[in-house]
Amino acid sequence: MKRILLMVFRNFLLVPFAWCRLCYHASHTEKYSDEEQYALLKYITLRANRGGNVTIDVHGSENIPKKNGFMFFPNHQGLYDVLAIIEATPCPFSVVAKKEIANIPFLKQVFACMKAYMLDREDVRQAMQVIIDVTNEVKKGRNYLIFAEGTRSKNGNQLRDFKGGSFKSATKAKCPIVPVALLNAYKPFDTNTIAPVTVQVHFLKPMYYEEYKDMKTTEFAAEVKSRIEKVIRENES
């Protein structure tokens, strides 16, 4: 909470304008392209991070596919994760997020601009429809991000198990997937300090369909988790 207040305080002249603009974009998504929406989110995120003493240390940008129609699979540390990846990523992407955070102010507007899907984990039929919709969107060339752990880890940089079902859209779309290792992304919002913090974002080499087509989704999930864990071990101080 302290860091959020710091972000607002250091951008107090910008906040009213940025908030109104964000809300307008969120309410009129049909008026803006994905690139225009993403440019706004990136601008707001950059200003918030600078004001909040947050530095994003990006590695492996060259591993992001040049052709759209891929999926990011990062580890999940907290509410800040998506903002870290927005600053780190040059191209627009959307998100599949749990419905429990759908009405959190600011995140609600961000997800609206991204045209995110909100997943009800208690509704199997709705979850299946999300898988179908995301598959079709990826085939059309949109990029998506899914947190395969299903919920955030509460143990710093340690990972929870990755759920095989999270990879169904990727396997159905036969798309490249990019594992993403986040380090210290829990610190900006989940620690009670405003001290400078560096969040590492590592884009790992993509896995293409030919590499994972013969894997069960549970095996696929375990492999992605293993690759992310390896990068975290190598870079955790």
More reliable by pLDDT, 21 or 150: 21
CA dist 74 and 82 (Å) reads 10
pLDDT above 80 (res 107): yes
Q: What is the mean pLDDT of the chain?
A: 93
pLDDT over 70 percentage in the chain? 99
CA dist 78 and 191 (Å) reads 11
Going along the chain from its start, the domains and CATH numbers come out as: 2-235 (3.40.1130)
pLDDT above 80 (res 77): yes
Residue 210 near residue 24, CB atoms below 8 Å: no
CB atoms within 10 A of CB 158: 12
pLDDT over 90 percentage in the chain? 81
CB atoms within 10 A of CB 9: 12
pLDDT grade, residue 116 (50/70/90)?
Answer: very high
203 three-state secondary structure:
strand
Helix (H) or strand (E) holding 190: helix 187-190
CA dist 50 and 40 (Å) reads 16
CA dist 135 and 179 (Å) reads 18
pLDDT above 80 (res 121): no
pLDDT grade, residue 104 (50/70/90)?
Answer: confident
Identity of the residue numbered 16: P
CA dist 129 and 135 (Å) reads 10
| Residue pLDDT, tens place only, 35-73 | 999 999 999 999 999 999 999 999 999 999 999 999 999
Query: What mean pLDDT comes out for the span 166-180?
Result: 96
Single pTM value for the model: 0.93
Tokens standing for residue 194 = 């405003």
Helix (H) or strand (E) holding 39: helix 34-51
Residue 75 near residue 227, CB atoms below 8 Å: no
CA dist 220 and 237 (Å) reads 28
pLDDT grade, residue 100 (50/70/90)?
Answer: confident
Helix (H) or strand (E) holding 199: strand 197-203
20 three-state secondary structure:
helix
pLDDT at 124: 84
The gap between the terminal CA atoms of the chain, to the nearest Å, is 25
CA dist 178 and 175 (Å) reads 10
